[in-house]
Homo-oligomer: A and B are copies of this chain.
Amino acid sequence: MVQYVSPPLDLSFMALSDATRRGIIDQLGRGDASISGLAARFQMTLTGMKKHIQILERAGLVVTQKVGRVRICRLGERGLGAEAEWIEAHRKLFEARFDALDEIITEVRQEECDESAG
């Protein structure tokens, strides 16, 4: 079985930090597209689109293939599993920190109530 080694999260999160690149992923989720087709859709020069595609390729999020004179882009095999895993694990850390904060606030308020009652 082929193992797809994910490039580091550095590359993928960097690739996702641009609205156009996130839009390209959206678009390729609906179907493969040529670089020139994507450039037209995003109202961008071919050179500009090529740079975005290179960044997505380096992150493994997009793969390209030359078909005749056209370069076709499609979503990469690696998916977003590693990113989802990181985000989910750390989302819980954020939530846990605020649950802890809520508890402290509740305790402080309770102490204040006890003091004013006592």
Contact = CB atoms under 8 A, between A and B. Distances in A.
Interface of A: 8-11, 13-14, 16-19, 22, 25-26, 28-29, 74-77, 79-81, 83-84, 86-88, 90-91, 93-98
Could you say how many copies of this chain the assembly holds?
A: 2
B13 A17 contact: yes
Contacts of A14: 13-14, 17
Contact of A18 (B10, B28, B87): B10
A8 B29 CA distance: 22
Nearest to A95: B79
Contacts of A86: 16, 22
A13 B13 contact: yes
